[in-house]
A = this chain, B = another copy of it.
Amino acid sequence: MSDAATLEPVGKREKTKAANRQAILDAARAVFAQLGYEAATVRDIIRGTDLASGTFYNYFKSKEEVYEALADDGARRFRPILRLSRENARSFEDYLHSAFVAYFQFILADNSAEGRPIDERRPHVLRMDTPEMVAVYQEVRQSLEEAIARGDAPHVDADYLACACIGMAQEVGGEMLRRNPRDVDAAARFVTGLLLNGLPGAAKKS
């Protein structure tokens, strides 16, 4: 019981460093939710921790960089979920559907926290340019490319297709959050149907 484990933060240095960074991120999440992104200041964030103002700049250059780190965090948590969808899928349709379900559930969970309306919290949009965000994009594109190569999907422009999927996920996901009740599965079925068969595939069954 003494040798294994201790895989990451060993020394006290690294442990507090990781803890401080996380404390700042947590505080930032709370502050953004409460004041909105634009109104929040670096001081507001640091006040939510027991650190001094100067310490903030040991970890991040600015409020923007904190936001990117949060986005990155989200993407990093989402990626393995997405991968699972791919591995467990029995068909291409199944993959698409479960991937969208995963994404919609993800944003649903991320937005169940209290605070002001979702839209005011963020600098308006999950930017597509942080490293982890790009990784998610690549993951999606690669899945699509493989499906095409395997013959599960027609020969389409994989980059455009990935963009289309992400764009739809974002906008339809946002609309889903605005609705009541929030029906993740219905939204996922809509998008999946639209992708596979176009408008006829998205038609309501009535």
Could you say which of A2-10, A105-113, A152-160 contacts chain B? A152-160
Q: Does A203 contact B (CB under 8 A)?
A: yes
A202 cross-chain contacts in B, Cβ below 8 A: 154, 156-157, 160-161
In the complex, are the beta carbons of A171 and B164 less than 8 A apart? Answer: yes
A172 cross-chain contacts in B, Cβ below 8 A: 160, 163-164, 167
CA gap between A166 and B171 in the complex, in Å: 7
In the complex, are the beta carbons of B156 and A203 less than 8 A apart? Answer: yes
Contact of A204 (CB < 8 Å), options: B155, B167, B194: B155
In the complex, are the beta carbons of A171 and B161 less than 8 A apart? Answer: no
Could you say which of A13-21, A72-80, A120-128 contacts chain B? A120-128
Q: Does A199 contact B (CB under 8 A)?
A: yes
Closest residue on chain B to residue A170 by CB atoms: B167
Report the minimum CB–CB distance from A132 to chain B (whole Å).
16
Chain A binding surface SS class: helix
Report the minimum CB–CB distance from A71 to chain B (whole Å).
10
Report the minimum CB–CB distance from A130 to chain B (whole Å).
11
CA gap between A149 and B110 in the complex, in Å: 37
Supposing A167-B167, A172-B167, A206-B155 touch, asked if A160 and B197 sit within 8 A by C-beta, the answer is no
Digit string of A158-200 for contact with B (CB within 8 Å is 1, else 0)? 0111011011111110110000000000010011001111111
A130-155 CB contacts (< 8 Å) to partner B: 153-155
CA gap between A180 and B155 in the complex, in Å: 21
Best-surrounded residue of A128, A164, A191 (most CB of chain B within 10 A): A164
In the complex, are the beta carbons of B204 and A157 less than 8 A apart? Answer: yes
A195 cross-chain contacts in B, Cβ below 8 A: 194, 198-199
